[in-house]
């Protein structure tokens, strides 16, 4: 595998630095994107924060095809050298034209934890132990650096890295006040990574957002809300919820929240996936029968009926690769194409939830 010398950073011309982004400043009672008052059926589009938004009443079917998929990872290390190699490998693939040229990579670092005065996350598999936000940031920076340097002359390729934790055990590990502080620390980490990338000219091809695997069975809704509110209060960049909507209905949604699993309702799932200003979602679409896609379509419909605005999902997440590495329930092994198509088709079945673009498909595996 090719490795460019650090001097290549000085040789390669650097693009103009992009402006530091915003987070949407607005009263928290408002739905989480700009709004226009137009009759239903009228189309109005705008680009906000790099996302094409379309008025909620407009049908959006443009016949989008599957975008191709990238690999995401359950991370067991924060070793910067290994992450550089991983980023370089992806950069080389895209340099030679491998799709998709617009890539999403979720790095799931595990449970939200605090060790002494430092916030961070566990590592999957137990080989890496606790990784602080500082250590995680350094590793992700090297992934982005490797991608940028090894993508060569392919200036059109781009990777968005989702730096993820999870709500597994968050009540036991942190408690509500500390969960909010952890969310804020995670947001500051993401802010710092993007500043590092900007200062070196890498942001033209590599960007970072926060992430959380928010699953209904892993915490109370209050604990998940505490984390996302903490993140939102400190964030300059969004986070992606790559969790589930377990127990939520697959049909029959109204403007009143229906129960999901445990103490959760559709309102809670909507809030952590799109209701809080910095939230987007790349939901788990694992089941072969399409039920998970229908749950998330109903969450979007709930948001529409509650606020007048559909949920803008950024893509789909499957676990086919992980199931090939370690056995899993055979009903939960959608391929990346199957998962993306299920979500795309479920959303497109109702003009109130249809999207102009479901941008990403990613498949998670063990690193």
* Region 33-54 average pLDDT: 34
What span, in angstroms and rounded, lies between the C-alpha atoms of 113 and 167?
Answer: 10
What span, in angstroms and rounded, lies between the C-alpha atoms of 69 and 362?
Answer: 5
Place of tokens 């498949």: 363
Is the pLDDT confidence value at 21 over 90? Answer: no
Is the pLDDT confidence value at 2 over 90? Answer: no
Looking at the chain, the number of H-run helices and the number of E-run strands are 10, 12
* Region 322-333 average pLDDT: 97
CATH number for the region 8-15+65-366 comes to 3.20.20
Q: What is the mean pLDDT of the chain?
A: 86
Is the pLDDT confidence value at 344 over 70? Answer: yes
For residue 111, the cross-strand partners are 166
* Region 12-31 average pLDDT: 36
Q: What is the pLDDT of residues 137-191, one digit of tens each?
A: 999 999 999 999 999 999 999 999 999 999 999 999 998 899 999 999 999 999 9
* Region 272-295 average pLDDT: 99
What span, in angstroms and rounded, lies between the C-alpha atoms of 307 and 235?
Answer: 23
What's the pLDDT at 134? 98
What's the pLDDT at 3? 36
- Structure tokens given for 7: 């001097």
3-state secondary structure (DSSP) of residue 325: helix
Q: Which of 22-26, 85-89, 218-222 has the lowest mean pLDDT?
A: 22-26
What's the pLDDT at 38? 28
* Region 235-250 average pLDDT: 99
- Angle, alpha carbons 79-85-91 (nearest 5°): 135
Is the pLDDT confidence value at 57 over 50? Answer: no
What span, in angstroms and rounded, lies between the C-alpha atoms of 320 and 111?
Answer: 22
- Structure tokens given for 44: 């109005």
Q: What is the pLDDT of residues 106-138, one digit of tens each?
A: 999 999 999 999 999 998 865 558 999 999 999
pLDDT above 70 covers a percentage of the chain that reads 82
pLDDT above 90 covers a percentage of the chain that reads 79
What's the pLDDT at 176? 87
CB atoms within 10 A of CB 65: 9
**Dihedral sign of CA atoms 173, 178, 181, 183 in order:** positive
Is the pLDDT confidence value at 27 over 60? Answer: no
What span, in angstroms and rounded, lies between the C-alpha atoms of 28 and 96?
Answer: 45
- Structure tokens given for 235: 């964030």
**Dihedral sign of CA atoms 37, 38, 40, 42 in order:** negative
Q: What is the 3-state secondary structure (H, E, C) of 112-157?
A: EEEECCEEEECCHHHCCCCEEHHHHHHHHHHHHHHHHHHCCCCCCC
Residue closest to 311 by CA, chosen among 341, 276, 260, 286:
276
What span, in angstroms and rounded, lies between the C-alpha atoms of 32 and 20?
Answer: 20
- My answer on whether omega of the bond before 273 falls inside 30° of 0, hence cis, is no
What's the pLDDT at 124? 82
Using alpha carbons, list the distances in angstroms from residue 120 to 92, 164, 170, 272.
Answer: 30, 10, 12, 20
* Region 73-86 average pLDDT: 97
Banded model confidence at residue 14, pLDDT cuts 50, 70, 90: very low
* Region 237-241 average pLDDT: 99
Residues 186 and 114 sit within 8 Å (Cβ to Cβ): no
Say which residues have a Cβ less than 8 Å from residue 247's Cβ, sequence separation at least 6: 216, 259, 260, 261, 262, 264
The structure's pTM equals 0.85
Residue closest to 307 by CA, chosen among 280, 265, 275, 278:
275
In order, the DSSP letters of 29-61 are TS-SS------TT---EEEETTEEEE-TTS---
50-53 long-range contacts (CB < 8 A, ≥24 apart) are 51/312, 52/356, 52/357, 53/312
What's the pLDDT at 115? 94
Banded model confidence at residue 315, pLDDT cuts 50, 70, 90: very high
What's the pLDDT at 1? 38
Q: Which of 15-19, 84-88, 171-175, 332-336 has the lowest mean pLDDT?
A: 15-19
Banded model confidence at residue 39, pLDDT cuts 50, 70, 90: very low
What's the pLDDT at 160? 98
């Amino acid at each position: 595998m090719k490795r460019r010398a650090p001097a290549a950073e000085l040789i390669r011309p650097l693009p103009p630095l992009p402006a530091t982004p915003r987070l949407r400043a607005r009263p928290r009672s408002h739905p989480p994107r700009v709004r226009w008052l137009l009759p239903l059926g009228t189309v109005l589009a705008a680009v906000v924060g790099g996302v094409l938004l379309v008025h909620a009443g407009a049908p959006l079917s443009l016949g989008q095809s599957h975008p191709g998929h990238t690999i995401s990872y359950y991370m067991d290390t924060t070793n910067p050298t290994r992450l550089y190699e991983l980023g370089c490998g992806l950069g080389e693939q895209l340099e030679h034209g491998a799709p998709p040229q617009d890539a999403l990579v979720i790095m799931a670092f595990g449970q939200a934890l605090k060790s002494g005065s430092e916030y961070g996350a566990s590592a999957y598999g137990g080989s890496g132990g606790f990784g602080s936000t500082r250590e995680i940031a350094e590793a992700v920076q090297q992934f982005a650096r490797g991608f940028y340097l090894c993508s060569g002359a392919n200036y059109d390729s781009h990777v968005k890295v989702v730096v993820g934790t999870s709500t597994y055990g968050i009540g036991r590990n942190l408690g509500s006040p500390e969960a909010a502080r952890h969310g804020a620390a995670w947001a500051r980490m993401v802010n710092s990574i993007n500043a590092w990338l900007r200062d070196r000219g890498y942001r033209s091809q590599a960007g970072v957002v926060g992430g959380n695997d928010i699953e209904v069975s892993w915490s109370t809704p209050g604990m998940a809300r505490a984390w996302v509110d903490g993140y939102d209060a400190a964030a300059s960049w969004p986070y992606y919820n790559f969790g589930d909507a377990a127990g939520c209905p697959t049909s029959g949604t109204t403007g009143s929240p229906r129960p999901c699993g445990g103490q959760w309702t559709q309102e809670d799932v909507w809030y952590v996936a799109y209701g809080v200003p910095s939230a987007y979602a790349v939901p788990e679409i694992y089941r072969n029968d399409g039920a998970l896609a229908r749950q998330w379509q109903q969450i979007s419909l709930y948001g529409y009926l509650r606020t007048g605005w559909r949920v803008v999902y950024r893509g789909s997440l499957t676990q086919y690769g992980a199931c090939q590495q370690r056995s899993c329930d055979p009903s939960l092994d959608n391929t990346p194409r199957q998962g993306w198509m299920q979500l795309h088709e479920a959303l497109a079945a109702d003009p109130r939830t249809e999207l102009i673009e479901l941008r990403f498909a990613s498949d998670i595996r063990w690193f």
